[in-house]
Structure 1
Amino acid sequence: MRFSQRMRASIKALAIVLSVAMPVALIVSAADARVGGGSSSGSRGSRTFSAPPSTSTAPNAARPFERSATQPSNPGLGAPAAAGAASRGGFFNRPGLLGGLAAGFLGAGLFGMLFGGSLFGGLGGLSSIIGLILQIGLVVIVARLAWSWWQRRNASQNAYAGGPAGGPAHYEAAPQPQQPDQIKGFGFGLGSGSAPPKIGPDDYEAFERLLSDIQAAWTKQDVTALRRLTTDEMASYFTDDLAENARKNVVNEVTNVKLLQGDLAEAWRDGDTEYASVAMRFSLIDKTTDKATGRVVDNSDQPIEVTEVWTFLRDRGAGWILSAIQQV
């Protein structure tokens, strides 16, 4: 009788955990199919290993690059990226389900050892397995709470110097003081103060146009257009991602791209090359379908909102092209 009551209590607790954990997992996976795969990729010239200043559009810290062809010129420049890579390394630090399972098995083993069993002695019965699943669910919840706290802490402390402090901005927020180079209707402004080169309305229109054109070329799998609109490095990443989709026999379509808010994080020159890092919040429909059946396998026809920092470059006498995408 006592075992039956414990079983019912465990199953009820498991249902509660799954009801919380599953929507979180779906939200995370829904952001990983679009252009760039939801990762930080590319190069920012001499500032590849320094963080772009935060802005009202992206008040939280931008993630270091997970894919970049730029190598640090000295150990000091590479320290932040190396530290980030080290923190993600190791089997138990892997993101997603694999890391959660590893942590859960370790927790179950240690629990068993504390109570006189072997490392895997806690997995002997059905109740122990349910207990293991509950532990995994608790690890997920605790990790999510810790991550939310960390994001709030970054926002409040303005982790990257040079940008305005405060919480995440919304398109409907109270109007900010008008900047000389602000684009009417789209909220583009100078997020971290004026910096050479001068970025004007024509440049902002070019950034918005690239946002849409690159997404359209990705959807059409037009590698030639992607190479024209991006650096060779970014084009190579996009080509590899398209090849991976082809291997999986799926097609990712990104449509209805609409810029909601954006502002300039910083602009600078490296020799004859000009750079501009721009925080952009935009909506889009991100849907992945099976190539053979047309069945939707990831995301849906419902629009989602995304905030990313895009870095553009242009050589003397040439137009802007995409050089990097960073998640925030």
Structure 2
Amino acid sequence: MIRIASRRSRAMIALAAVLVFAGSAAEARVGGGKGSFGSRGARTWSAPPSTNTTPSAAPIQRSQTPDQGSAMNRPGMASPAAAQPRRFGFGTGLMAGLFGAGLLGMLMGNGFFGGLAGLGSVIGLLVQIGLVVLLVSFAMKWFRRRQQPAYAGPGQGYARSMPDEQPQPGGGLGGALGGALGGLGQRAQQPSGVRDEVGIGERDYAAFEQSLNEVQEAYSRGDVAKLWALATPEMAGYMQEELNDNAARGLANQVSNVKLLQGDLAEAWREGSAEYATVAMRYSLVDVTTEKATGRVVEGDASRPVEATEVWTFRRDPGGSWKLSAIQQS
């Protein structure tokens, strides 16, 4: 019995190791299986608008942008209980002591302020009641003013994306990322309703598609220097971590034949001197993971392309080129 149990234990451990290894091996290509990470500026924790390519995108999971109040802006997330303002009443704090002592004095016949003797006791009682009423009225007004929220004027706080609008027909980053992207034969036409504060044109669409190919190619070669040139420092750091993790496991990821199939511009905006553009892309690629030592294929098929749908955000500084700043899974 002990031997049987021991064999079963070894089998379970081996199976678990295979599953863990397979799960890590499935994390191929840039961002594949690794969740959503990077930064979208002040809109990092806001969901990008829906598009024909991606009706929804997974929220950012890893980012260097502080998450301030994001739970209230993420779809599907339960809103935390709002902090209740402190209230003073007849049963708490200063008011409890004040009214408790005064009313107790009145019940004991000494009056709210110790009472007035003799013939003036009735007048004194009325004066005390009037003072109590005035004091209560003043206190209620004062506390009510304290509890009213301060008005947040225009431009205060983080910028937030507006509620999603239904994309107009014509798909693809302005019509399949435009004719300049992927050679789909359509001129770049931006769908109406897209919030574009930058004025994205054909050159930008071409730059996005080129970035898709170059980032995947550099990642496949393990070219860290190229990744740092194509992405923001935050994103380049994340991708370098993934490469280091693959190397520690003795794996190599080979990506080839990247082809853009469909894309949409979700939104483009400015933050100070920087410009951002969020793009939904569906593309095909050959994605194979092998063991470095033996060349054995661990994941993927070199003869069978697969499809991926993701939302990429790009950032451009004045005088610079577009750089990848975030990837979100659809």
Q: One fold, TM greater than 0.5?
A: yes
Following TM superposition, by how much is the alpha carbon of 1:179 offset from its aligned partner in structure 2, in angstroms?
6.2
Distance 1:53 1:212 in 2: 24
Instruction: Assess, with a 3 A threshold, how the Cα gap between structure 1 residues 52 and 31 changes in structure 2: closer, same or farther.
Output: farther
Summarize the alignment of residues 99-138 of structure 1 with structure 2, pairs less than 5 Å apart: none
Structure 1 position 211 matched with structure 2 position 234 = no
Aligned twin of 2:305: 303
1:178 and 1:85 mapped to 2: Cα distance?
Answer: 32
Partner SS state of residue 36, structure 1: coil
- Tell me if the contact between 2:173 and 2:279 (Cα under 8 Å) persists in the aligned partners: no
For residues 226-275 of structure 1, give each alpha carbon's deviation from its aligned partner in whole angstroms, at most 9, with x where no partner exists: 00000011011111100110110010111100001111000000100000
Q: Does 1:46 align with 2:24?
A: no
5+ residue gaps, structure 2, are 1-21, 80-162
User: RMSD across aligned C-alpha pairs, in angstroms?
Assistant: 3.2
190-199 or 178-187, which moves further after superposition? Answer: 178-187
CA 1:323–1:264: 2 relative to 1, 3 Å: same
Partner of 2:225: 224
- Return the alpha-carbon distance in structure 1 between the equivalents of residues 311 and 32 of structure 2: 14
**What letter matches 1:304 in structure 2?**
V
Q: Counterpart amino acid of 2:251?
A: V
Q: Helix, strand or coil: the match of 1:47?
A: coil
Which residue of 58, 81, 91 maps to 1:63? 58
Tell me the residue number matched to 2:315: 313
C-alpha deviations, 1:147-190, integer Å up to 9, x for none? xxxxxxxxxxxxx612328xxxxxxxx96699699622446653
CA distance in 2, matches of 1:325, 1:227: 15
- What amino acid does structure 1 have at the position aligned with 2:44? T
Secondary structure of 1:322's counterpart equals strand
Residue in 1 that maps onto 2:244: 243
Residues of 2 paired with 1:252 and 1:308: CA distance? 19
Q: Hey, what's the Cα distance between the residues in 2 that align with 1:55 and 1:296?
A: 35
Q: TM-score, normalised by structure 2?
A: 0.60
Matched residues in 2 for 1:236 and 1:178: separation? 27
Alignment map for 1:175-324 (pairs within 5 Å): 183-184=178-179, 185-186=183-184, 189-191=189-191, 192-301=193-302, 302-324=304-326
Q: What is the CA-CA distance between 1:57 and the residue it aligns to?
A: 1.2
Distance change in 2, residues 1:210/1:177 (3 Å): closer
Q: Give 1:321's aligned amino acid.
A: K
Residues 189 and 263, structure 1, Cα contact 8 Å, conserved in 2: no
Q: Which runs of 5+ in 1 are unaligned?
A: 1-26, 87-159, 166-173
Q: TM-score, length-normalised on structure 1?
A: 0.60
User: How much has 1:37 moved relative to structure 2?
Assistant: 3.2
**Structure with max Cα Rg:** 2
Distance 2:173 2:316 in 1: 27
CA deviation after TM superposition for structure 1 residue 36, in Å: 1.5
Structure 2 Cα separation of the partners of residues 232 and 51 of structure 1: 23
Q: Counterparts of 2:171 and 2:209 in 1: how far apart (Å)?
A: 21
Kindly indicate whether the alpha-carbon contact (under 8 Å) linking 1:273 and 1:314 is maintained by their aligned counterparts in 2.
yes
- 1:259–1:180 CA distance, 2 compared to 1 (3 A): closer
Answer whether contact 2:290 2:296 (CA < 8 A) is retained. Answer: yes
Equivalenced residues, count: 219
Alignment partner, residue 162 of structure 1? 165
Matched, 1:32 2:27: yes
Secondary structure of the corresponding residue to residue 229 of structure 2: helix
What is the alpha-carbon distance in structure 2 between the residues aligned to residue 289 and residue 44 of structure 1? 33
Measured in 2, the distance between the counterparts of 1:250 and 1:181 equals: 34
Question: Deviation of residue 79 (structure 1)?
Answer: 3.9
CA separation of 1:225 and 1:79: change in aligned 2, threshold 3 A: same
Residue identity over aligned pairs, in percent, reads 50
